[in-house]
Amino acid sequence: MKRRAALLALGALGAYGSTRIVRGRAPSAVGRRLIVVTIEPTTVLTSAFDPVMTNCLIGSKVMEGLVTYDVDLNPVPALAERWEVSPDGRSIRFHLRPNVKWHDGADFTSEDVAFTLLESWKKLHPFGRAAWATVRAVQTPDPLTVDVHLEGPARYIFGYLNTFGAQVLPKHLYAGSDIRGNPHNQAPVGTGPFVFQEWQRGSHVRLRKNPHYWRPGQPRLDEVIFRFIPDAPSRAAALQSGEVQLALGGAIPHLSLRRFAQNDRFQLNTDDGNFLSSLSMVLCNVRSGALADRRVRQALMHAIDREALLRLVFRGYGKVATGPVPSSVRRYYTTEVPQYPYDLARARGLLKDAGHADMRLQLAFGQPEALRTALFLRQSLAKIGVTLELKQSDATTWLRHVFTDQEFQLALTGLHMLPDPTLGVQRLYWGKNIHKGVPWTNGSGYLNPELDAVMEAAQIEGDEAERRRLMQRWQQIVQTDLPVLNLIESAWVSVSTANLQRPTRQGDGLFDNLGDAYFA
């Protein structure tokens, strides 16, 4: 019902959009204020222990990480100016940027980094706990040097050092407190180009310029406001009206993007979400039933015309996935894995071999935007005699169904794969990551000791070339067994007014601190 209304609204917007002029105040008055439309964070604005996208979209303008990432996901210095890895790969030395101050005037030092690493990233952060688990000791020989000593080589750490993965907290405001409950989480004090001013619940967050920012000449804007609009069509309307000037990735649904793409008052950015490297996928419960048979899973994959899925549902914003690691993760991506081209005859043959010519399967999903993909899959699989029953629920019900009850058959979702496969991808396939009751673990129940051995070897490999070889090996195993059907690498598309310039392109542009942003 809601969807139909959205479509009607889009039609109406489309018809009127092209002739509309920008309203509101004249550019001179608002020229140094940027209004970003987004969804309100649930609890906090920091991501030092709670890496939720909505938090970090806002918090990243106030609080920084050690690095940022370029579009190919290579680290770029931020709070860390440079770093060295010891020849045995067991220690990393970070040289911090001098003359950086917290918004309250205190100096930013190696103590802050060591404190956050040990107390927040390593203890509380859901990914950080895995990423930093190997840390043996942290030393701070001087205020601008941090030595991290590891149990063994851990190259994956370099995929997770930005404001989303490793945001630095001010030790002087957090030490001795319960970090999760610290009031500064809702009124953050950072080192970034913008200073937190107010969070009016249900309405907006307001940030103002940090005049003492360490990067000369920045920020170029005086004020950044995040306005909360829960309803997607209303967000699109606000952007269209010129009342807001930037909608960061995902705020505007794929369906509405064409209208902005065809209008030269707006520009689109598809690099911003490279860091997240999100995949749309179907988890197969391989524990029992027909799906325990690899041939059935391969048959399903052959029966899905993913080019059509990309075109019709994702409106072309993304790529067809070729394996478990998305192409945006350049360093470890490979096409040297089995492929499953759209081939109904082959799909039927595989099903017949497996003895499952006609069957019913249930597809569960918990994200409202997954409905169209689910409908597409139902139509596709009907062609090979598989009747798909759709089970839609809210996100938490879905999580329980898949990860706690483990009674599902197929589960459709979208998930971030992140720059390093050891952190982002391995969790879905690793036998040791089957944990009943824990979301986003190996929910398929897929257990392959051979794969586990390769994954664990890749995890601790210090030599980059060898690590890449091991990663490619495990991608081959995964793509042969298909416990997960990887469908589409969906792009996060940011839309802004044409006059908003963001000169530095970032792979983690969703969490770009907007220091260089200005209105032309």
Partner 1 sequence: MRQVLRRALGALSILVGIALLNFLLLQLAPGDMVDAMVGEAGGATPEYMAELRAKFGLDQPMFVRLARYLGALAQLDLGYSHRKQAEVLSLILDRLPPTLLLMTAALSIALPVGTLLGATQSRRQGSWLDTLLSVIVLSTHALPAFWLGLMAIVFLAADRGWFPTGGMTSFDAPADGWDRALDVLHHLALPALTLANVYIAVYARLMRSALLELKGADFIRTARAKGLSTERVFWVHTVRNALLPMVTMLGMQIASMLSGAVIVESVFGWPGLGRLAFEAVVARDTNLLLGIMFLGSILVTLVNLGVDLLYSVIDPRVLARGAS
Rounded Cα distance between 241 and 244, Å, is: 8
Question: b/e per residue, 375-399, with b = 16+ CB within 10 A?
Answer: ebbbebbeebbbebebbbeeeeebb
Of 353, 332, 355, the residue nearest 467 (C-alpha):
332
- Tell me the CB-side half-sphere exposure of residue 71, using CA atoms within 13 A: 7
Q: Is 143 exposed, middle or buried (0-12, 13-18, 19+ CB in 10 A)?
A: middle
Minimal distance, residue 34 CB to partner 1, in Å: 11
Decide: is 299 part of the binding site for partner 1 (CB under 8 A): no
Rounded Cα distance between 164 and 183, Å, is: 20
- Tell me the CB-side half-sphere exposure of residue 99, using CA atoms within 13 A: 5
Rounded Cα distance between 313 and 308, Å, is: 8
**What's the gap between Cα 22 and its chain centre?**
32
Minimal distance, residue 381 CB to partner 1, in Å: 26
User: With respect to partner 1, which residue has the nearer C-beta, 365 or 376?
Assistant: 365
Decide: is 28 part of the binding site for partner 1 (CB under 8 A): no
Question: Looking at residue 216, what DSSP letter applies?
Answer: T
User: With respect to partner 1, which residue has the nearer C-beta, 299 or 510?
Assistant: 510
Decide: is 396 part of the binding site for partner 1 (CB under 8 A): yes
Minimal distance, residue 394 CB to partner 1, in Å: 7
Decide: is 225 part of the binding site for partner 1 (CB under 8 A): yes
Per-position x/- string for 136-175, each x denoting binding to partner 1 as judged by CB under 8 A, each - no binding: ----------------------------------------
Exactly one of 102, 127, 314, 446 binds partner 1 (CB under 8 A); which one?
127
Decide: is 262 part of the binding site for partner 1 (CB under 8 A): no
Minimal distance, residue 152 CB to partner 1, in Å: 20
CB 179 within 8 A of CB 169: yes
Structural tokens at position 193: 């180009």
Decide: is 185 part of the binding site for partner 1 (CB under 8 A): yes
DSSP string over 495-511? EEETTEE--S--TTGGG
Minimal distance, residue 285 CB to partner 1, in Å: 17
User: With respect to partner 1, which residue has the nearer C-beta, 40 or 111?
Assistant: 40
User: With respect to partner 1, which residue has the nearer C-beta, 310 or 424?
Assistant: 424
Decide: is 425 part of the binding site for partner 1 (CB under 8 A): no
| Footprint of partner 1 (CB under 8 A) | 1-2, 5-6, 8-9, 12-13, 16, 20, 23-24, 33, 35, 40, 42-44, 50-52, 124, 126-127, 129, 181, 185-186, 200-204, 206, 225, 227-231, 233-234, 237-238, 240-241, 243, 393-397, 399-401, 404, 415-416, 427, 435, 437-441
